[in-house]
Structure 1
């Protein structure tokens, strides 16, 4: 960054659209901006340019930035770049619902979200919140699980083989095998992990509070697991006509997981930038 900005450590926000190019002549925001030959930032920019997600060139009189088919936001040093779709947020959300089969948000209010800086990411998380509320309203999926334990009040099937093996009664309980309908299953575990991811990604206090509130409700009966792509794929295998309500939620969680952070393959070390970039080709091919 230039000397004045590096001293103040202020974040320079640059709003862009997909497939747009700005130069110091066309955009005063990038005029006179430089990275002071910071080697770490230069490696990040080089990897970012090679990935064809964003192109950033450091010129004599400032920066030249070109965007492609990715939308979202990325942070490089003290520069925050947000990339919006060419379609405005509300209409774009309607198209996303149609493409991915998400439910309609009847009370969506763009004024409560900072759409200019974090529009697409916040829209996805807002939709995730709506889907989670819909699932809670209809009731979490429950699955019968086999439980084997000693009970003072017998329930289910008494294991007489275990009874004989132990040589009769040793205390006032019998070993029983019974079944309980539990909410602690793969679908709900993935939902909880996705809500926690959303609360980490969002920059909106209202969204974060709502996501944490629902997460606390789920944590009362659902175990916390690590969110991975394999977890989401395994959860998809559990989708049937009784659990179809989870399908839109899993698609949102998958997009958030695959688009969070920006990682590059480097011979020296793994390079990762804070941000969120979504490939619009996934939307057009849906």
Structure 2
């Protein structure tokens, strides 16, 4: 199996040829990052599938570069998961590879979080003690030692470092230490930060993350925790088929774009009356046998007033808007009794604006969103869209 790295663009149509054994090909295919197409003689063609990220299979490194760049990808992912995520939460240094960019961002935020010292808090501890401390766990006492007075099963609160914030951060640092393509300096800094959290439990792979809320006490941890959660959600390091070691960070760009637009619209529409629903369930027919689920619908006084659908489809500079999307939005507007519907694209070449549907009073707007713009500008564009989408008379009547 070739040890040469494979670097593909997100829109690459030709792919790359690599010689792989069956286990490596199976493991790579299981990540979903690329299509692994047999070419004969042990050679396989690797083709992007609409996902981006990086995978390490044994000695093989495969990376699919997002067209928006790695820093912007991490911002979109982070903001979709938590609107508190800011552009400065990821490293400002341009990185050509995902692993180093993600590691550097996590390292910087962890260093800032831990520089004043490791955060402590109260945690509940269950122990067997010769004396009473805290509260007696009577059910456990009777179950474990019926009729025996000592030791006593107790539960007490202890001021310690093994709290949710530190568990999430240390687990993300450990997960990052397992990935390839990291400079020696980055590995050393990760190991040092991990040592700072000695005594904190590392969460098992696949376990639910403990909950935490931003407060005055943990505010300095918040940027690091947002990034750590992103790492733990999308990154994995585990054995693959045939005991091939595998590390992966793979995301579906269509889902990333949809999640980002949904979160950004919900934030932009928050000052308006009513509420914003994602994956709004309605029906196209009166018998309610044909369900529809627009990505975002804003509802005022129980009535939909704006509908949006996110589309991550356009590929080249000469790409046009797919007509099927207009048909879909026409159906949404008809079912929701709206005269205006918004199709939000990751980019666009046609002049944005309403297109009146023949023999109706319905306009469909194709709205391009430039993901290469600075994050602040992207969010400002969403704010402008929200102001246009929610009718002023609806806003006034609801107040």
State the TM-score, normalized to the length of structure 2.
0.46
Match of 1:132 in 2: 110
Q: Structure 1's 185 and 16: CA in aligned 2 closer, same or farther, altered over 3 A?
A: same
Match of 2:236 among 260, 266, 273: 260
Distance of 1:247 and 1:67 partners within structure 2 = 34
How many equivalent residue pairs?
229
Match of 1:280 in 2: 253
1:94-148: per-residue Cα shift (whole Å, max 9, x none)? 55565543351697434xxxx44xx223322222222212221354432235899
SS at match of 2:178: helix
Q: Structure 1's 120 and 66: CA in aligned 2 closer, same or farther, altered over 3 A?
A: same
1:86 aligns with 2:67: yes
Task: Verify the 8 A CA contact 1:262 1:272 in the aligned structure 2.
Answer: yes
Distance of 2:53 and 2:225 partners within structure 1 = 20
SS at match of 1:12: coil
Q: Structure 1's 278 and 125: CA in aligned 2 closer, same or farther, altered over 3 A?
A: farther
Distance of 1:254 and 1:204 partners within structure 2 = 23
Distance of 2:55 and 2:156 partners within structure 1 = 52
User: How far off is 1:76 after superposition?
Assistant: 4.7
1:239 aligns with 2:181: no
Q: Structure 1's 139 and 229: CA in aligned 2 closer, same or farther, altered over 3 A?
A: farther
Task: Verify the 8 A CA contact 1:17 1:84 in the aligned structure 2.
Answer: yes
User: How far off is 1:77 after superposition?
Assistant: 6.2
1:162-204: per-residue Cα shift (whole Å, max 9, x none)? xxxxxxxxxxxxxxx9976322322212222221222222522
Task: Verify the 8 A CA contact 1:75 1:274 in the aligned structure 2.
Answer: yes
Task: Verify the 8 A CA contact 1:96 1:102 in the aligned structure 2.
Answer: no
Higher relative contact order (CA 8 A, sep 6+): 1
User: How far off is 1:83 after superposition?
Assistant: 0.9
Give the structure with the higher percent helix. Answer: 1
Q: Structure 1's 192 and 270: CA in aligned 2 closer, same or farther, altered over 3 A?
A: same
Distance of 1:248 and 1:280 partners within structure 2 = 23
